[in-house]
Structure 1
Amino acid sequence: MEWQILIVLFGSFFFLLALGVPISFAIGLSSLLSVLMSLPFDAAIAVISQKMASGLDSFTLLAIPFFILAGNIMNQGGIAIRLIELAKVLGGRLPGSLAHVNIIANMMFGAISGSAVASAAAVGGTMSPLQKKEGYDPAYSAAVNITSCPTGLLIPPSNTFIVYSLISGGTSIGALFLAGYLPGIIMGLSLMLVAGVIAKKRGYPLAPKPSRAEVLKKLFDALPSLGLIIIIMGGIIGGIFTATEASAIAVIYTLILAVLIYREVSLKQLPAIILESVVTTSIVLLLIGASMSMSWAMANADIPYLISDALLAISENPIIVLLIINLTLLIVGIFMDMTPALLIFTPIFLPIAQDLGMDPVHFGVMMTFNLCIGICTPPVGSALFIGCSVGKVKIDKVIKPLLPFYAVLVSALMLITFVPQISLALPRLFLGY
């Protein structure tokens, strides 16, 4: 019976996706169909509705609309250009300097905005014309932008970690935020290594050496933007406020920064920004609610245990099992966006990882890193589409330049997976985790 429910649940889900049904509705309808196999119609409807509502009844989730609003304010608040100018003085003397500027700027802007897509659009839209002017291959430039924009999903504040905290049963958000720093930096540095090697082979130019006064000016201009990260993480680590309270503080800070200091956002623009944030929040929360109903349907049918037993039947070696989990998530990431993949597969794979002795914080970082690769891959990678759009490059032209970047990202993923100290060092240092 359990296997039949599993087939109905995932078979109907992927069938609905293939028909073009929005993913939130596909999750909810497939969950309902699976529950109907064990409950009458009225009871199934009541259970699914109740689980969707109770899944959203969480104080932690209040952080998501606030961080989305703060990110949207900063996206239009002149932040990107200031961070790009700072990145120029930080990475301008490396081979293929503009590629390194793109990566560093994506790391900083993505961390502040919390959105890979916004980072790809804002940073890539600014850097692509500059790189084309300097003789860079547009496909190479697009590949650099596409693969580096997800770094901000690992470097906090990250809505992805907030969602994972909820679905994993209350894993510490502060610990997850701290755990994302080193893997996010490793992701950026690994991309810079590949970009530098390719740029040196092709003879791409170096940027002029900046003067000390110029370095100080660019740093001073960007400090207010970077201050958001310092305030949020300093407050969380110091126990001054929770991650949810930090999200509200982020909104106040970004309003002051964009409206009063940078003066890039007027009061007349705020209603449109708020409305955009409300729409985005609604989409995310509907997805979370539907996924909570699917999580209950899977737990009710013992599906996580079925999959766990099937995996352990293949091998009880932790290395083999983690490789299978990573391979599965890499394949899932090709066909599914990051948030739904996280919501659906965390309840399945987290218990298996914990049985192997893996810390839930470490697993959350590994899973997020893995799915970051997925949003850079065809056919549904959101970062891929935006990166190609702003770089004015066709998707088929950018696939080959992306391959060496994919290879180094997978190598970095293996490092994160099998060296837990990379993820857990900072939480243990600052929080005693």
Structure 2
Amino acid sequence: MNLADPFTLSVVSIVVLSLLGLPIGHAMIASSILYLYTAGLDMGTAAEQLLNGMFTSYILLAVPLFILAAELMNSGSMTERLLRFCDAIVGRFRGGLAQVNVLQSIIFAGMSGSAIADAAGTGKMMQKMMTSDGKYPASYAAALTAASSVIGPIIPPSIPVVIYALVSDASIGYLFLAGMIPGALMGAAQMALIAYTARKRNFPVEKPVPLRQLPRITLRAFPALMMPVVLLGGIYSGVMTPTEAAAVAAAYALLISGLLYRDLTLSSIYHSVLASARTTASIGMLIAGALVFNYVVTVENIPNALAAYLQSFDLSPIGFLILVNIVLLILGCLLEGTTILLIIVPVLIPTAQALGIDMVHFGIVVVVNIMLGLITPPYGLLLFIMTNISGAPLRAIVRDVLPFLFAMLTALMVITFVPGIVLFLPRLFGYGG
């Protein structure tokens, strides 16, 4: 390793600053400026790249708006009504509460676009419901909540998909469509595993909700259930762009919770805006750092050099996708998902394009891998979040999450090797890939 090389020095600087506790976004900006200085380039380029990237990327506006929509939902009773609806549908089966956990994640996925928002919002409620009266072990409830939460960013709308669209120039509308069947496949894999485990471990059967109450429960949840329909219908009918749909999502959550359900106060709205601002600032700083560092990577011609290097191995498209799966699953254990999307994925895209891999299919494979990284030991972020929420030991949560991880890895293999599953809906709506 030659520390006199500007690029090597900047990479080492990012690692050192991150280990010292500096946020990764700040570390990337500082190290990129160090690169520009040592390479004899204009250091003002860092500010230029940051400002141009942030101000010309209209699609980035969707991120804070989807976050705000999720915060407003959790502040009101929309989430609680959805849980009640899910319980009425699948709660009557053995292991019904566990099935409710997965179903609510699938429905909630159409509103928040964030796995962490799902786990921290509805996850808290599900943890309490599943562990009350000792129905389920705390570690199993926490593991299931973490596993079901990763479905959220696969089914549209999805914040990681928005960021992938930013770095790949792939159509965000077709990416949203492409995530529907894979997300449903992941949910089906989890629910099948729960059905098997429920019989094996003799999980309880909940008191069924009388069928005569189902219309009333559905009516109470109907405005919340219509949110994904409004968003996706607006996008695919051409009425609004995905970014405009994010604004509609936030406005819809505010109107339904505030005016129809009447369970939002000025204080809760303020705290929702404040929480979403903090989360957005954190993500925004990470994106800003990545935009500057990506300039450094481009100057060093890293993407093209890596593409040429990988092509020298004469990899087939399937071979390359297997390699990508392995690399991203390993990185997902160690790095935050947005960092992988902004730093690692742009380096892989030229090779994928050279091999003729469809960018929409590649995007879904990438996002699924990154989401699985959130529950992959030893450093899956959702595992730590659920440890704090549940109070269960991390070791026990890891033990209970492994079967779900293996089930979803099986689904990932299907998604990887059968592109038609991913591209079926986009092609149905006119995608030519």
Q: State TM-score, norm by structure 2.
A: 0.93
Counterpart of 2:34 in structure 1 is: 33
Q: Which is further off, 367-376 or 106-115?
A: 106-115
Q: Is the 8 A contact 2:108 2:152 kept in 1?
A: yes
Counterpart of 1:429 in structure 2 is: 428
Task: Provide the secondary structure at the position in 1 that maps to 2:429.
Answer: helix
Q: Which is further off, 360-369 or 218-227?
A: 218-227
CA distance in 2, matches of 1:348, 1:144: 33
Is 2:26 the counterpart of 1:21? no
Counterpart of 2:416 in structure 1 is: 417
Counterpart of 2:191 in structure 1 is: 192
1:333-344 to 2 correspondences below 5 Å: 333-344=332-343
Counterpart of 2:47 in structure 1 is: 49
Counterpart of 1:386 in structure 2 is: 385
CA distance in 1, matches of 2:391, 2:212: 35
Shift in Å, 1:268: 3.5
Shift in Å, 1:6: 5.2
Q: Which is further off, 289-298 or 62-71?
A: 62-71
Counterpart of 2:235 in structure 1 is: 236
Letter in 2 for 1:225: A
CA distance in 1, matches of 2:44, 2:348: 28
Counterpart of 2:58 in structure 1 is: 59
Task: Provide the secondary structure at the position in 1 that maps to 2:226.
Answer: helix
Task: Provide the secondary structure at the position in 2 that maps to 1:200.
Answer: helix
1:51-130 to 2 correspondences below 5 Å: 51-57=49-55, 58-130=57-129
Q: Is the 8 A contact 1:6 1:303 kept in 2?
A: no
Shift in Å, 1:29: 2.4
Shift in Å, 1:72: 1.3
Is 2:148 the counterpart of 1:145? no
Q: Which is further off, 193-202 or 90-99?
A: 90-99
Shift in Å, 1:260: 0.9
1:259-274 to 2 correspondences below 5 Å: 259-274=258-273
1:169-318 to 2 correspondences below 5 Å: 170-318=169-317
CA distance in 2, matches of 1:191, 1:138: 18
CA distance in 1, matches of 2:254, 2:120: 21
CA distance in 2, matches of 1:352, 1:171: 15
Shift in Å, 1:88: 1.2
CA distance in 1, matches of 2:11, 2:197: 42
Q: CA RMSD in A?
A: 2.1
CA distance in 2, matches of 1:350, 1:184: 23
Counterpart of 1:363 in structure 2 is: 362
Q: State TM-score, norm by structure 1.
A: 0.93
Q: Is the 8 A contact 1:315 1:321 kept in 2?
A: no
Counterpart of 2:349 in structure 1 is: 350
Letter in 2 for 1:175: Y
Q: Is the 8 A contact 2:73 2:253 kept in 1?
A: yes
CA distance in 1, matches of 2:15, 2:416: 28
CA distance in 2, matches of 1:249, 1:279: 21
Structure 1 residue ranges without an equivalent (≥5): none
Letter in 2 for 1:158: S
Counterpart of 1:330 in structure 2 is: 329
CA distance in 1, matches of 2:195, 2:36: 53
Q: Which is further off, 417-426 or 10-19?
A: 10-19
Q: Which is further off, 288-297 or 29-38?
A: 29-38
Q: Is the 8 A contact 2:101 2:126 kept in 1?
A: yes
Shift in Å, 1:37: 4.4
Letter in 2 for 1:323: I
**1:37-75 CA-partner distances (Å, limit 9, x unpaired):** 4334xx1x2111111111101222222222222221112
CA distance in 2, matches of 1:274, 1:141: 29
Q: Is the 8 A contact 2:174 2:431 kept in 1?
A: no
- How many residue pairs align between the two structures? 429
CA distance in 2, matches of 1:424, 1:245: 24
Q: Is the 8 A contact 2:333 2:373 kept in 1?
A: yes
Task: Provide the secondary structure at the position in 2 that maps to 1:154.
Answer: coil
Shift in Å, 1:415: 1.2
CA distance in 2, matches of 1:111, 1:279: 22
Letter in 2 for 1:195: I
Q: Is the 8 A contact 1:237 1:431 kept in 2?
A: no
CA distance in 1, matches of 2:308, 2:11: 18
CA distance in 2, matches of 1:225, 1:430: 26
CA distance in 2, matches of 1:167, 1:354: 13
Q: Is the 8 A contact 2:155 2:179 kept in 1?
A: yes
Shift in Å, 1:147: 0.7
Shift in Å, 1:167: 1.4
Q: Is the 8 A contact 2:91 2:97 kept in 1?
A: yes
CA distance in 2, matches of 1:37, 1:429: 51
CA distance in 2, matches of 1:33, 1:208: 63
Identity of aligned residues (%): 35
Q: Is the 8 A contact 2:75 2:268 kept in 1?
A: no
